[in-house]
Chains A and B, each alone.
Chain A
Amino acid sequence: MSTETNESQSRPASRPAGAVVPWPEQRRDLPPMTGDEQLVERTWTEIDAWTYAFLWHCVVSF
């Protein structure tokens, strides 16, 4: 997040239900994979799911 202004991070048409920053987008932002990519993908997807849950439960549950 910017420290000066809060700028929109729009990712139309590439953000499926359950994801805020989908793995393919995060993958592009990482250095070359030298280890187990599936392990990184799984753990990234799990934590991203919590972010998604936070946003959508603010709408649906609270």
Chain B
Amino acid sequence: MNIDAIERAGCADATECRYQERLARYTTALRNGKPDRIPIRPFVAEFTAKYAGMDCQQVTQDYRLAFDAAARCAADFDWDAIVPNMVYVWGMIPQVLGNRYLAVPGVGLPRDTGFQYCEPSEDQAWMKPEEYDALIEDPTGYLLNVWMPRTNRYLVGDGEPNTWRNNVAWLQGGMALMQYFTAFGGQVERLRRECGTVSAIAGILKSPFDILADKFRGYIGLTMDLFERPDKVLAAAEALMPHMLHIALSTADPNKQVPITIWMHRGCVPFVTPDQFERFFWPTLKPVIEEIWRHGHQTLFYAEGQWSHHWARFRELPEGSIIYHCDRDDVFAAKRALGDRFAISGGIPNVLLSFGTPQEVRDFCKRVIDEVAIDGGYIMDASAIMQNDTSIENVRAMTEFTREYGVY
């Protein structure tokens, strides 16, 4: 871009001009509109380490290295938006607390394996079935007094003798989280200033049902509870709703440009029955999404797995209130079922990006561009977050082909 064009656009420099172009392109597509060309917003996680010559331990153990790796990718690839750090678990936080469920690369895991969540057996669940009432009555108090000490070995629970290590762990945990979260502002600004790249998302949401399954009762425990104590499950999910909403809104984009993301896990058929989805999952999530929309924010449905059984329910949401990200769903069917109401993203199979040829990647991208992105409302991305098994050559093929062919 020459000096005249920069001045006409009212930008400080060419990088800022590029940022403004990309922001307009990305946000137009998010709102199901047709921009000048298809925006590219890959959810690159441990891929960034591979590309930057690092390993999983480096980007997990030191978030500054993760920021560097993300910025390096943003500078080298012509992407419109990326997540400032998709390797979102900074290993120091579980380490200072003595966390029992997160395994970190290089500390118990091979140093080039991504971090892992270790779900306990049903009888070792982080919340006992008889503790539903305590969670329902005071969720934050339950976290503080019971759940945190149980999931972190340095913290002591109710009535236990206090320890020096307990005091230090609370202090270090709080300091670490503040340090990490505060650093994100600088990373967002760095991506804008150095590369003209948009920060793709802001704000995190989980469904109350998924939180119960993932972090409290475990998947097997919760599915048993659905039969043995269904009223308690529903009351607990309802008690979690205001907290999920608060966390989502308190971390959202103040400019209301990029979406809050909900990471959807095991609330769909066949993890639950259709009736259980209708009774437990959807009634405790839908009002949260609607309230987020009333606050002026979109929600990106990172629909991990296959959610096509529930597309009719998703259509109940206000038009434009969500972006539907395809993981294992058929992206072409998703466009036909949801595309008149919501933008679609993703759908390029990770298997193809890891083990296919560049020509196979280009062929699939062409089909997606022709059939899904045809009228706008599509954001190019892989199906799921890209880890270090993803081929750099194939990501380059996806990027370059979309740039060349994905022009409206």
Contact = CB atoms under 8 A, between A and B. Distances in A.
Contacts of A12: 137-138, 141
B204 A51 contact: no
B141 A56 contact: no
Given A1-B167, A7-B159, A9-B145, A60 B247 contact: yes
B174 A54 contact: yes
Contacts of A4: 161-162
A37 to B, nearest CB: 24
Given A13-B138, A15-B141, A20-B140, A62 B93 contact: yes
Q: How large is the interface on A (under 10, 10 to 19, 20 to 34, 35 or more residues)?
A: 20 to 34
A55 B167 contact: no
A43 interface: no
A3 interface: yes
B158 interface: yes
B147 A6 contact: no
B250 A18 contact: yes
A7 B158 contact: yes
A9 B159 CA distance: 11
A33 interface: no
A19 B243 CA distance: 10
Contacts of A5: 159-162
A10, A53, A54, A59, most chain B CB atoms within 10 A = A59
Nearest to B91: A62
Contacts of A38: none
A9 to B, nearest CB: 7
A57 B206 CA distance: 11
Contacts of B242: 16-17
A34 interface: no
Nearest to A59: B215
A4 to B, nearest CB: 6
B166 interface: yes
Interface in A1-58: 1-13, 15-20, 49-58
Nearest to A56: B247
B88 interface: yes
Contacts of B204: 57, 60-61
A20 B140 CA distance: 7
B338 interface: no
Interface of A: 1-13, 15-20, 49-62
